[in-house]
């Protein structure tokens, strides 16, 4: 059975979904004020492998992924480019969808945009204010974390550090991995030159980043999610905020499992614009790599371990993938008929794959074990019927990996 590391509790647990009929998963998507880089896609690909492996194991999965298209950064970037927020975010979202196809990322069942769930955000804000968990200050609305028991539990926040004096943080996001010890904003009241706003029951303004995920989740999921995923950086401020907001208005846990993917580094340094080491899929295509090889490189390292990009590391991964693909092609070439066969080789490959994947989605271990097994076969003596069953098993596995055929 699949076992995964649950950030909530910091322990590895056997995966048992909140709902066995339909496994609900919600994953953090892109902030489309800019183009997604390969570090972003590492997280999106880990989430894709998770969904595909659960389906391989027989689960029916329903997945949502948020699109952040209303935030301070989008307004600021659009202003600098002398274009509307909508035009900016539409362009970057179209690019994101194109690159999802390049990397064979399965399109989520729901791709809600923050700009399309303002009504849901207003509903939640009204509920929070009525419960006394949130409050108006001027034209803005803020959430008081001290009104939510157990605030900061995902991160493991030391609440003894909380300041006695009231502090409010009014930006959507703040740079760096640090905590804002104070009340966080839910609603930006209208101000002249604010860039974008809606007329709503609570007045003119726009929903903050901190209310957008709860709004998008509430539109499509009305029960405990089986899994909530995102990058490790979302453990600072974001996911604990989302949990506190949603669990303040719902009588059940937001998610049963919380999974987080670690960062991609470049030559030992965290990818960032300031360091000038941002890489896009186009960057790697210009170096001669195809989409499948880029996908493989980004899923090959374990999702809970830091992945380091270098010319050598992606070249090595591409060679491993090409070697396995060549073996799979030779096996498929021999699979001329469906005659009688014990199917033992196919079962061994499937069992090996699942044993490694069941260990917290160990893609590297699963791939290497399969590669070693196939490399050790004498393909000259492989019978056609056995080759047929082996090819069928590999094609089933590739519904998860999406890199072999």
Each residue of 48-104: pLDDT tens digit?
Answer: 999 999 999 999 999 999 999 999 999 999 999 999 999 999 999 999 999 999 999
pTM, rounded to two decimals: 0.95
- In the chain, pLDDT over 70 holds for what percent of residues? 98
pLDDT 10s digits, 224-265: 999 999 999 999 999 999 999 999 999 999 999 999 999 999
88-97: string of b/e by CB count within 10 Å (b at 16+)?
Answer: bbeebbebbe
Place of tokens 């050790």: 376
Which token pair is 389? 């069953």
3-state secondary structure of 312: helix
Can you tell me the distance from the alpha carbon of 272 to that of 37, in angstroms, rounded to the nearest whole number?
10
Mean pLDDT across the chain: 95
pLDDT at 380 (0 to 100): 87
Average of per-residue pLDDT across 8-23: 97
Q: 170 forms bridges with which residues in the sheet?
A: none
Nearest-CA neighbor of 17 among 31, 28, 6, 29?
A: 6
- Domains by residue range for the chain, with CATH: 3-261 (3.40.50.620), 269-401 (1.10.730.10)
pLDDT 10s digits, 189-212: 999 877 899 999 999 999 999 999
Under the banding of pLDDT at 50, 70 and 90, the label for residue 271 is confident
Can you tell me the distance from the alpha carbon of 322 to that of 274, in angstroms, rounded to the nearest whole number?
35
Can you tell me the distance from the alpha carbon of 21 to that of 284, in angstroms, rounded to the nearest whole number?
40
């Amino acid at each position: 059975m699949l076992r995964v590391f649950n950030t909530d509790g910091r322990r590895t647990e056997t995966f048992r979904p909140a709902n066995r009929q339909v496994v609900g998963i919600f994953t953090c998507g892109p902030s489309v004020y800019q183009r997604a880089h390969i570090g972003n896609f590492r997280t999106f690909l880990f989430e894709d492998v998770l969904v595909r492996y659960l389906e391989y194991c027989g689960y029916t999965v329903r997945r949502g992924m948020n699109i952040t298209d209303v935030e301070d950064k989008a307004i600021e970037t659009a202003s600098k480019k002398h274009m509307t927020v909508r035009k900016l975010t539409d362009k970057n979202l179209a690019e994101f969808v194109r690159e999802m196809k390049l990397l064979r990322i399965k399109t989520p069942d729901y791709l809600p945009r923050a700009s399309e769930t303002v009504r849901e955000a207003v509903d939640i804000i009204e509920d929070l204010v009525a419960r006394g968990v949130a409050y108006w200050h001027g034209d803005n609305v803020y959430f008081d974390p001290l009104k939510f028991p157990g605030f900061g539990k995902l991160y493991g926040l030391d609440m003894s550090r909380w300041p006695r004096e009231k502090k409010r943080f009014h930006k959507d996001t703040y740079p760096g991995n640090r905590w804002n010890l104070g009340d966080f904003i839910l609603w930006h009241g209208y101000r002249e030159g604010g860039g974008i706003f809606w007329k709503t029951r609570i007045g003119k303004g726009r929903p903050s980043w901190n209310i957008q995920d709860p709004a998008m989740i509430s539109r499509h999921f009305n029960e405990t999610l089986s899994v909530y995923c995102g990058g490790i950086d979302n453990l600072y401020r974001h996911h604990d905020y989302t949990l506190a907001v949603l669990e303040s208005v719902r009588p059940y846990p937001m998610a049963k499992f919380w999974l987080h993917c670690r960062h991609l580094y470049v030559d030992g340094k965290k990818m960032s614009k300031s360091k000038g080491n941002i890489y896009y899929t186009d960057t790697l295509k210009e170096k001669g790599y195809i989409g499948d090889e880029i996908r493989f490189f980004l899923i090959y390292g374990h999702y809970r371990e830091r992945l380091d990009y270098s010319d050598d590391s992606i070249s090595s991964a591409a060679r491993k993938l090409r070697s396995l693909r060549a073996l799979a092609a030779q096996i498929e070439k021999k699979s001329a008929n469906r005659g009688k066969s014990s199917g033992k080789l196919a079962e061994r490959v499937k069992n090996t794959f699942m044993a490694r994947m069941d260990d917290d989605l160990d893609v590297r271990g699963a791939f290497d074990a399969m590669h070693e097994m196939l490399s050790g076969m004498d393909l000259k003596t492989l019978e056609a019927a056995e080759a047929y069953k082996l090819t069928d098993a590999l094609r089933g596995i590739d519904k998860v990996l999406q890199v072999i055929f």
